[in-house]
Amino acid sequence: MFKKTIMISTILAASLMAAEVTFQNAAPAQRVMPEAGKIISFNKAITHASKCVVNISAKKRIKQNIPPAMMDPFFRRFFDMPYGRMMPRERIERALGSGVIVTPDGYIVTNNHVVDGADEVRVTIPGSTKEYKAKIVGTDPKTDIAVIKIEAKHLPAIKMGDSDALKTGDLVFAIGNPFGVGESVSQGIISALGKDSVGINQYENFIQTDAAINPGNSGGALVDSRGVLIGINSAIISRSGANNGIGFAIPVNMVKRVATQLIEHGKVEYGYLGVSISDLTPDLRKVYKHKEGAVVLNVDAGTPAKKAGFKRGDLIIEVNGKPVKDASDLKNIIGAIAPGKEVAITYERNGKVRTARATLAEFPSDKLGGNGESIVDGLTLENLTPDIRKKLGIPDDIEGVIVSGVKAGSTADKAGFMPGDIIIQIEDSDIKSVQDVEEAMKKYPGRKRVYINRRGMIRILVVG
Q: Residue 404: name the closest of 426, 379, 385 by CA.
A: 379
**Catalytic residue, candidates 186, 218, 374, 429:** 218
Choose among 69, 118, 144: nearest CA to 442.
144
Output DSSP code: residue 309: T
Report the alpha-carbon angle 256-257-260, nearest 5.
80
The 3 state secondary structure assigned to 335-355 is HCCCCCCEEEEEEEECCEEEE
Contacts of 261 (CB under 8 A, 6+ apart): 138, 267, 268, 269
Distance, in Å, from the CA atom of 341 to the CA atom of 167, rounded to the nearest integer, reads 31
Name the nearest CA neighbour of 71 among 54, 88, 56: 88
The Cα 137–Cα 226 span in angstroms is 29
DSSP H/E element including 121? strand 120-124
Of these residues, 50, 57, 98, 113, which one is catalytic?
113
54, 100 Cβ separation under 8 angstroms = yes
Rg of the chain, C-alpha, whole Å:
28
Of these residues, 140, 144, 196, 210, which one is catalytic?
A: 144
Residue 390 CB neighbours (<10 A): 9
Say if residues 258 and 153 touch (Cβ distance below 8 Å): no
The DSSP H or E segment spanning 46 is: helix 43-51
Do 209 and 191 contact (CB within 8 A), yes or no?
yes
Q: Cβ distance 157 to 165 under 8 Å?
A: no
- List, in order, residues 6 or more apart from 45 with CB less than 8 Å away: 225, 226, 227
115 phi and psi angles, rounded to 5 deg: -115, 0
Give ∠ CA 121-262-319 in degrees, rounded to 5. Answer: 140
Q: What is the rounded distance in angstroms from the CA atom of residue 144 to the CA atom of residue 307?
A: 32
Q: Is 113 a catalytic residue?
A: yes
The Cα–Cα gap between 438 and 349 comes to 35
265 is catalytic: no
- By annotation, the residues acting in catalysis are 113, 144, 218
